[in-house]
Amino acid sequence: MAQPTYVIVGASLAGAKAAEALRGHGFDGRVVLLGDEAESPYERPPLSKGYLMGNQEREKVFVHPAHWYADHEVELRLGTLVTGIDRDRKTVTTAGGERLGYDKLLLATGASPRRLSVPGADLDGVLYLRDLEDCERIREAFQRSSRVVLVGGGWIGLEVAAAASEAGVATTVVEAAQQPLGRVLGPQIAPVFADLHREHGVDLRLGAQAVEITGEKGKASGVRLADGSLIGADVVVVGIGADPNTDLAVDAGLRVADGVFVDAALATSEPDICAVGDVASALHPLLGKHIRVEHWANALHQPDVAAQTMLGKQARYDRIPYFFTDQYDLGMEYAGHTGPGEYDEVVVRGDLAGREFIAFWLADGRVLAGMNVNVWDVNDTIQQLIRSGHPVDRGALADPNLPLDQLTTE
Ligand SMILES: Cc1cc2nc3c(=O)[nH]c(=O)nc-3n(C[C@H](O)[C@H](O)[C@H](O)COP(=O)(O)OP(=O)(O)OC[C@H]3O[C@@H](n4cnc5c(N)ncnc54)[C@H](O)[C@@H]3O)c2cc1C
């Protein structure tokens, strides 16, 4: 009997981890990993941190060494754009015109940066950061620029601002909201990051809307704001969020709503097709709703569950969402899932002004999310607090003298 073929579309962290998990669970059929990029699967967090700043080597960003794929009989095909899925015939088509049959299909197509749509946005020197090439272009631009403007003060914008400012480039961040990260962290905690950047000389323009990229001889020369002011720039980096790459799924008639809809086993509305990573909007059993998570840890861990599902095993993904960032000398980890209107209180344990603390977001006395800043080895405990769903004593939560793990056993 012919060996079954499992096809993975998207050769990045989630795709590479899925191939690894299939082999790890004993699948000995064909594994074909298709990706449109030229590079072997790599990790993206260093692209806005160590590798961008020039203190991490290129070889260190790859998920597996180049020989790993052949060693594990994974057919890695780079530079291969998948253009269509035929669910009836169970085939995928590539831009090169090849038709490839699958028994099971995994979508790991990730997300793409949202584009700025203002006059001048297509000038030379307006850059985005998603892939290795983007990172190398920005790194090179920092070396020959004296002024950079970041449009967007989200995680990536702020990390790039930190890298630019550490590279000695005069750095301005233009953010439409009143605080960078205001939506995710709220008014009490978000200023920690604003202050951090100001202390490092970054010019934060808050509540500011970029309405035009001005240019000279086809090259970006500045960013005009809605109030008419102009900020000069040699390079403009846009970080205004990312959208999931759902075109294939939409065209194939799969259920899509801000991501490819999958159940807790990570199967789509078509049982032979699963989805993972940034592109997947997965039912989270603990939260009781679908969430799409653009986090490294999600792309790292979901593939193991999807691989089991593809192999007919019972599995579900219920990890607490987890995220990290490094900016200057601040390192932080965030676990949980909450947003404006979903929590009613923020409790801080430790030294907020000194940037060495844990913040907890609570609703009805229960911890929904927690963030440790320059405090280490506590994130697992924070996740246990979230997972338990038990009400916690606010006083105890705020008291750094009471060990956090004692609160989880109550
Ligand atoms: C600069 C940067 C810094 C980050 N830093 C952090 C961090 O500090 N902490 C954190 O938790 N997360 C971070 N993230 C997020 C994290 O990197 C992502 O969550 C993770 O990369 C998602 O992996 P993925 O495999 O699902 O998708 P992606 O990494 O987006 O990969 C999808 C791949 O599929 C390919 N593809 C798409 N469509 C097709 C097609 N039709 N045919 C073939 N190939 C296709 C894409 O080209 C891409 O290679 C960062 C992201 C970026 C961009």
The CATH number of whichever domain residue 93 belongs to comes to: 3.50.50.60
- 120 domain residue, yes or no: no
Total structural domains within the chain: 3
Name the domain boundary from 186, 210, 240: 240
> Probe ligand 1: pick from 20, 33, 39, 44, max atoms within 8 Å of CB?
44
Cα 35 to averaged position of ligand 1 atoms, centre (Å): 12
- 121 domain residue, yes or no: no
The answer to whether residues 302 and 14 touch, using CB atoms and an 8 Å cutoff, is yes
Please tell me the residue having the least CA distance from ligand 1 atom 30: 110
Report d(CA 292, CA 283) in Å as an integer.
9
Can you name the residues that pair with 5 across neighbouring β-strands?
30
Say yes or no: 141 and 201 in one domain: yes
- 97 domain residue, yes or no: yes
Say yes or no: 236 and 272 in one domain: no
Say yes or no: 76 and 39 in one domain: yes
Which distant-in-sequence residues (6+ apart) come within 8 Å of 274 by Cβ?
Answer: 104, 105, 106, 107, 262, 265, 266, 267, 268, 306, 309, 310
* Distance in angstroms between the alpha carbons of the first and the last residue of the chain: 56
The answer to whether residues 367 and 345 touch, using CB atoms and an 8 Å cutoff, is no
Say yes or no: 25 and 107 in one domain: yes
- 169 domain residue, yes or no: yes
Of 221, 247, 274, 199, the residue nearest 8 (C-alpha): 274
> Probe ligand 1: pick from 7, 8, 9, 12, max atoms within 8 Å of CB?
12
What domain range is 30 assigned to? 5-112+243-310
Of 343, 275, 283, the residue nearest 318 (C-alpha): 283
For residue 379, what is the DSSP state?
Answer: H
- For the chain, which residues score pLDDT lower than 70? 1, 408-410
- 118 domain residue, yes or no: no
Q: Which atom of ligand 1 is nearest to the CA of 46?
A: 3
Provide the pLDDT for residue 196.
98
How many CB atoms within 10 Å of residue 363?
14
Say yes or no: 221 and 256 in one domain: no
Say yes or no: 292 and 336 in one domain: no
Q: Which atom of ligand 1 is nearest to the CA of 248?
A: 41
- 315 domain residue, yes or no: no
Q: Which residue has the tokens 């806005």?
A: 48
Share of the chain above pLDDT 90, in %: 98
Say yes or no: 164 and 220 in one domain: yes
Please tell me the residue having the least CA distance from ligand 1 atom 20: 296
Say yes or no: 106 and 248 in one domain: yes
User: In this predicted model, what pLDDT tens digit does every residue of 28-51 receive, in sequence order?
Assistant: 999 999 999 999 999 999 999 999
CA dist 318 to 62, 263, 358, 392, Å? Answer: 27, 11, 23, 22
Q: What is the DSSP string of 136-205?
A: HHHHHHHHH-SEEEEE--SHHHHHHHHHHHHTT-EEEEEESSSSTTHHHHHHHHHHHHHHHHHHTT-EEE
Say yes or no: 84 and 188 in one domain: no
Can you name the residues that pair with 362 across neighbouring β-strands?
345, 367
- 288 domain residue, yes or no: yes
Say yes or no: 130 and 236 in one domain: yes
Which distant-in-sequence residues (6+ apart) come within 8 Å of 305 by Cβ?
Answer: 265, 266, 276, 315, 316, 317
Name the domain boundary from 240, 262, 293: 240
What Rg do the C-alpha atoms of the chain give, in angstroms? Answer: 22
Provide the pLDDT for residue 407.
85
Say yes or no: 19 and 104 in one domain: yes
Name the domain boundary from 225, 240, 255: 240
- 320 domain residue, yes or no: no
The CATH number of whichever domain residue 380 belongs to comes to: 3.30.390.30
Provide the pLDDT for residue 1.
66
Say yes or no: 231 and 130 in one domain: yes
Provide the pLDDT for residue 406.
86
